[in-house]
Amino acid sequence: MFLVGLTGGIASGKSSVSSQLRELGCPVIDADVVARKVVEPQTRAYRLLVQHFGQEVLLENGEIDRQKLGQIIFSNPEKRRVLNSITHPEIHRAMLKHILYYFIRGYRYVILDVPLLFETRRLTRLMKHTVVVYCDPTTQLARLMQRDGLSREEAEQRIAAQMPLSEKRGLARHVIENSGSREDTHRQVLRLHTALDDSMEFLPIRAVAVAAVAGLGGLFLYMVKLLAC
Ligand SMILES: CC(C)(COP(=O)(O)OP(=O)(O)OC[C@H]1O[C@@H](n2cnc3c(N)ncnc32)[C@H](O)[C@@H]1O)[C@@H](O)C(=O)NCCC(=O)NCCS
Ligand SMILES: Nc1ncnc2c1ncn2[C@@H]1O[C@H](COP(=O)(O)OP(=O)(O)OP(=O)(O)O)[C@@H](O)[C@H]1O
């Protein structure tokens, strides 16, 4: 099995592309969804968040107030670093479990939708393919302001909290240009899907695992036979 890292900038269109890939039958793990699960009440990350950011980042029902936490961390790099140091190890652990699930089910590849893929070098090294969903800066800003109801200043702050999208584009093996129409993007997604389906596994891990188990089984039987003689 191999891993495909799908990334981009905030509001560049990752979710739109990943939902099209899901419709084509690809397994996709969404880091934003995982990130929400790992900070649910009773979790370790939740307790650490309350310890560091205080009760004021909680809603009345005890859940994390994501809007409030977002306002704090996107305007303060040090607090963002603290949030990342609490959540990222938990996110990576949970994603590994999802990957194992797909591995056991026999999928050839899994797509990881990770906004901060290139900001986290440890993860990047594990990817056979990297895909950046790109759109031009003006379009990105306009889409972000419209989708999240942010002022220009707030939206610019959030974009500045990530590695520049143009830099990410230079690091990726595949680029999906999403400044144009949804149809245009869909055509590129279809091409990417074909490329992934045609991609060879560098190391057929599944076959190696099966061979290793079969080999150990054979050795065991041989030993049993020897001892029985
Ligand atoms: C800051 C939080 C509370 C805002 O929650 P909210 O529901 O409003 O947004 P959501 O989680 O859907 O994220 C939206 C986008 O913001 C960007 N973003 C999120 N966290 C970060 C971060 N720490 N640094 C830079 N950009 C970020 C990503 O592009 C993401 O796709 C939340 O994003 C969070 O807990 N972030 C820390 C975990 C993280 O790094 N998640 C990104 C996936 S690894
Ligand atoms: N080709 C397109 N044409 C018009 N609107 C688009 C296009 N692609 C995406 N959008 C819109 O732009 C916004 C951002 O897209 P999307 O939510 O897919 O981005 P994202 O990269 O997943 O964002 P985030 O990093 O915040 O999770 C959404 O409102 C989406 O509907």
Given a contact cutoff of 8 angstroms between Cβ atoms, the answer to whether 192 and 125 are in contact is: no
pLDDT over 80 at 211, yes or no: no
Which residues, 6+ apart, have CB-to-CB distance to 46 below 8 Å?
A: 39, 40, 64
Ligand 2 center to residue 80 CA distance, Å?
23
Counting ligands in written order, which one lies closest to the CA of residue 114?
A: 1
| Residues 9-67 pLDDT 10s | 999 999 999 999 999 999 999 999 999 999 999 999 999 999 999 999 999 999 999 99
Residue nearest to atom 16 of ligand 2 (CA): 13
Ligand 2: residues with CB < 6 A are: 8, 10-16, 32, 115, 143, 147, 178, 181-182, 185
Counting ligands in written order, which one lies closest to the CA of residue 13?
A: 2
Give the CA radius of gyration of the chain.
21
Same fold: 1-27+107-198 with 32-104: yes
Residue nearest to atom 2 of ligand 1 (CA): 70
Query: Domain locations in the chain?
Result: 1-27+107-198, 32-104, 203-228
Which residues, 6+ apart, have CB-to-CB distance to 65 below 8 Å?
A: 57, 58, 59
Question: Which atom of ligand 1 is found nearest the CA of 116?
Answer: 44
Q: Is 154 helix (H, G, I), strand (E, B) or coil?
A: helix
Distance CA 116, CA 118 (A): 6
Candidate from 24-33, 35-44, 119-128, 213-222 with smallest mean pLDDT: 213-222
Cα dihedral 154, 156, 162, 166 in deg (nearest 10): 160
Question: In the prediction, which pLDDT does 20 show?
Answer: 98
Domain 32-104: top CATH class: alpha beta
Question: Which atom of ligand 2 is found nearest the CA of 148?
Answer: 29
Closest by CA to 29, choosing from 117, 112, 106, 123, is 112
Mean pLDDT (whole number) for 200-216: 64
pLDDT confidence band for 119 (50 / 70 / 90): very high
Ligand 2 center to residue 62 CA distance, Å?
30
Distance CA 88, CA 169 (A): 23
- Hunting for tokens 């065991």 — which residue is that? 220
| Residues 58-116 pLDDT 10s | 999 999 999 999 999 999 999 999 999 999 999 999 999 999 999 999 999 999 999 99
Bigger pLDDT: 149 vs 217: 149
Residue nearest to atom 14 of ligand 2 (CA): 11
Question: In the prediction, which pLDDT does 217 show?
Answer: 73
SS3 content of the chain, % helix, strand, coil (to 5): 60, 10, 25
Question: In the prediction, which pLDDT does 91 show?
Answer: 97
pLDDT confidence band for 122 (50 / 70 / 90): confident
| Residues 197-207 pLDDT 10s | 999 765 555 55
Counting ligands in written order, which one lies closest to the CA of residue 144?
A: 2
Ligand 2 center to residue 195 CA distance, Å?
23
The kind and range of the H/E element at 110 are strand 109-113
| Domain made up of 1-27+107-198: CATH architecture | 3-Layer(aba) Sandwich (3.40)
Residue nearest to atom 10 of ligand 1 (CA): 32
Q: Report the 10 Å Cβ neighbour count for 65.
A: 16
Given a contact cutoff of 8 angstroms between Cβ atoms, the answer to whether 152 and 144 are in contact is: no
Mean pLDDT (whole number) for 122-142: 96
Q: Please tell me the pTM assigned to this model.
A: 0.89
**What are the φ/ψ torsions at residue 200 (nearest 5 degrees)?**
-85, 145
Counting ligands in written order, which one lies closest to the CA of residue 186?
A: 2
- What one-character DSSP code corresponds to residue 13? S
Which residues, 6+ apart, have CB-to-CB distance to 105 below 8 Å?
A: none
pLDDT over 90 at 151, yes or no: yes
By CB atoms closer than 10 A (0-12, 13-18, 19+), residue 81 is: exposed
Question: Which atom of ligand 2 is found nearest the CA of 17?
Answer: 18
Bigger pLDDT: 210 vs 153: 153
pLDDT over 90 at 209, yes or no: no
